Amino acid sequence: MLKDFDAAILRDARRVVVKVGSSLVTNEGRGLDEAAIGEWCRQMSLLVKQGREVIMVSSGAIAEGMKRLGWTTRPHEIHELQAAAAVGQMGLAQMYETKLRENGLGSAQVLLTHADLADRERYLNARSTLLTLLKLGVLPVINENDTVVNDEIKFGDNDTLGALVANLVEADALVILTDQKGLYTADPRKDPSAKFVHVAQAGDAALEAMAGGAGSSLGRGGMITKILAAKRAAGSGASTVIAWGREPDALLRLCQGESIGTLLIAPTQKTQARKQWIADHLQMKGSVTVDAGAVKKLRSDGSSLLPIGMTGVDGDFSRGDVIAIRSEDGLEVARGLANYASSEARLLCRKPSTQFEKLLGYAAEPEMVHRDNMVLHR
């Protein structure tokens, strides 16, 4: 275990994903907790006004649907769970919309599945949408699309989704608000000698041994899912805090550097993790050749690769695949994630972005490979 809570991690975090569990959102199943949701929305709006970007991952659709349908126990039949999600999602989205708007902030509902984040093209589409919403000053409220995807209801949990979203948008931090104060060395409800863990390294195998099973009849997770979510978030360089959701001003105080809950520190810096993943990608589907001017811009200016600088396309690749960027003498200058499939890239060679819509029938990113998704070879 580590000794000191690193206040700078949350204090300096510019992009934060906040995940709130079902028992908190629905006040242990009694219905959406308007006061609590209002408090989180107030805090998130203040963080946005400070210049931070915030995304909310909220559980509670199935639990709210159960309440509206008069069910006291979580059903086992998939179609009943889907029905509860469909009913509950209406109230959940409406509550966040109302409370965020009261605090001067627009909101957007985004329903995702794990499949959306496993497919590279859908991954980039989801990423582009979320980053655009943040740029517009709109706070995305994300939930799993439980209404239509069986596997997410049977196996999924929103702790994992929160980590996947943190990976998706390259968040600096993931804050998991729960009904526990944080992580203990054992279950404090059963072991009075259990000690509180203030700080540790995400991915430490000892953490999984400490975590127990599911903590609520409403949700699907428990402390173990939060530990594993922190480990997953750390893969893209995001540290995680697990804290009590009813702690007064928890989000604001965390972002001021106060020690609240358990901090699980990512061992790898955010940019290092993403760049290393691209650099280590061996199965490239193709490449693009660029002129000397483009090579100079990439190397000297740290620019993105624009199609106008491309002279050729090799291979058969899709949007989101890792491709090589080569000079006209065949040397690999860089590699990165393609914003366009090879068939589209061939049409865009030597063309300015003003012609993209005419050539493709739609207008998307102006770059073939964005500099944030690129690793240069020096």
Beta pairing class for 196-197 and 199-201: unpaired
User: Do residues 220 and 243 share a domain?
Assistant: yes
Residue type, 153: I
User: Do residues 159 and 287 share a domain?
Assistant: no
pLDDT in tens, 54-85: 999 998 888 889 989 999 888 888 889 899 99
* Contact between 110 and 74 (Cβ < 8 Å): no
User: Do residues 268 and 364 share a domain?
Assistant: no
Is 2 contained in some domain?
Answer: no
CA distance 68 to 169: 33
Inter-CA distances, 16 with 19, 56, 62, 172, 286, Å:
10, 9, 25, 6, 34
CA distance 153 to 146: 6
What stretches in the chain show pLDDT beneath 50?
153-155, 213-220
CA distance 297 to 136: 29
What's the pLDDT score for residue 74?
A: 87
User: Do residues 323 and 265 share a domain?
Assistant: no
What range defines the domain where residue 233 resides? 7-274
Domain final residue pick, 223, 239, 274:
274
User: Do residues 70 and 150 share a domain?
Assistant: yes
User: Do residues 185 and 71 share a domain?
Assistant: yes
Is 213 contained in some domain?
Answer: yes
Predicted model pTM: 0.80
User: Do residues 347 and 255 share a domain?
Assistant: no
CATH assignment at residue 356: 2.30.130.10
Two tokens, residue 235: 């893969």
User: Do residues 299 and 340 share a domain?
Assistant: yes
Is 285 contained in some domain?
Answer: yes
Domain final residue pick, 239, 259, 274:
274
Residue type, 264: L
User: Do residues 221 and 314 share a domain?
Assistant: no
Tally of domains in the chain: 2
What's the pLDDT score for residue 46?
A: 98
Phi, psi for residue 294 in degrees, rounded to 5: -65, -40
pLDDT in tens, 270-282: 666 667 667 766 6
For 3, other C-beta atoms within 10 Å of its C-beta total: 6
Domain final residue pick, 274, 297, 314:
274
Is 1 contained in some domain?
Answer: no
For 372, other C-beta atoms within 10 Å of its C-beta total: 14
Q: What is the DSSP letter of 378?
A: -
